Structure 1
Amino acid sequence: MIILQLYMAFLKIGMFSIGGGYVMLPLIQKEIIENYGWLTQTEFVDIIAIAEMTPGPVAINSATFIGYQTAGIWGAAFATAGVVTPSLVLMVLAAKMINRFYENRWVQAAFGGLRPAVIALIAGAAIYVAGTAITDYISVIFGLAAFALLIFTKLHPIVVLAISAVAGIIIYL
């Protein structure tokens, strides 16, 4: 049954994605496109773009959109439940133990190894999405301009997205 498959796929994604939504993107891509074939590469990138623009965590938004695209409202509910289950369980356990173990040198050493790995996963996801989203020299210019606006100005990311959308309408229509 596809709803159970969605739950299990996103449960796996949620269990092995330390570091947040962007870290999940390569795992989502592997599960949803390569393992199950529920979406095409283009559909996946479009859903990630929508998940980025909507309020909330990108992982939850992605799971909800992919679940809905795959199996309707129940698919959205089960995919979302799957991706949040591991975090919910871990946060309940962590809340009970964090004060007792956080200063432990073994825990600190583990975090020291996890932080750089998380950065690598985020960079890998960015490169992966860029490979599909950058289709011509104009999209390269859009990407560089948006990056510059985010890094060198105090513009809010929503404003940068709005500017990019308007520029896309003007140039691509």
Structure 2
Amino acid sequence: MTTLWQLFWTFIKINLLSTSGPASVGLLYKEAVGTIMTETQFVQAVGLASVLPGSDALQLAMFVGYAAAGVWGALVALAGSVLPPTIIMFGVVMVLNRLRRAAWVARFVEGLTPAVAVLMLFVAWQVFTSSGGGSVGWEMFLIGMVSLAALALDAPAPLVLLAAGIAGVVLFP
């Protein structure tokens, strides 16, 4: 059983180490799956958080917190998720305001981009392959390709996810 303090500390660590919502999902996957929830539960949480309006990372944190310790767990996970970036952001804004013309700042941010993209791809692959029990059938491939095409054509992501869920109801026995 995860205590509220352990839960709070987990989300403090995740949000001190991640640079974006998608990056935090990869770190949360490593922390939560196997200790707080199963991989299937995590995949379901990612899907639900993606469909709802608002920050996916905060919704996912609350879902994991709730799975670990109920309503208090959700609130503690939310606090642990919001506190580090809020404090850090105040400090960063003050420093960057002084350094905004320095070329190395833009290069630093550019250097982060590939690492964040790889983290997002890793989590996407984990979610994709775990949904089909480790194998990717034609149904998953079809839904994935149609979803990719719809997003490439600028379809709203929540509608694409809703349509994919409906397709899952129809295509999977």
Q: Which sits farther off after the overlay, 69-78 or 119-128?
A: 119-128
Distance 2:110 2:104 in 1: 10
TM-score (ref. length: structure 1):
0.89
Distance 1:168 1:128 in 2: 18
Which ranges in structure 2 are unaligned for 5 or more consecutive residues? none
1:163 corresponds to which letter in structure 2?
A
What aligned pairs does 1:1-173 form with structure 2 within 5 A after superposition?
2-18=3-19, 20-34=20-34, 37-134=35-132, 135-151=136-152, 153-172=153-172
Paired residues of 2:22 and 2:116 also in contact (CA < 8 A): no
Please give the secondary structure, in 2, of the residue aligned with 1:39. coil
Paired residues of 2:21 and 2:57 also in contact (CA < 8 A): yes
2:72 corresponds to which letter in structure 1?
W
RMSD: 1.7
Please give the secondary structure, in 2, of the residue aligned with 1:11. helix
Q: CA deviation at 1:126?
A: 1.5
2:113 corresponds to which letter in structure 1?
R
Please give the secondary structure, in 1, of the residue aligned with 2:140. helix
Distance 2:118 2:154 in 1: 26
Q: How many residues matched?
A: 169
Q: Which sits farther off after the overlay, 127-136 or 1-10?
A: 127-136
Distance 1:172 1:123, change over 3 A: closer
Distance 2:81 2:123 in 1: 18
Which ranges in structure 1 are unaligned for 5 or more consecutive residues? none
Q: Which sits farther off after the overlay, 102-111 or 139-148?
A: 102-111
Distance 1:30 1:171, change over 3 A: same
Q: CA deviation at 1:28?
A: 0.6
1:12 corresponds to which letter in structure 2?
K
Q: CA deviation at 1:154?
A: 3.3
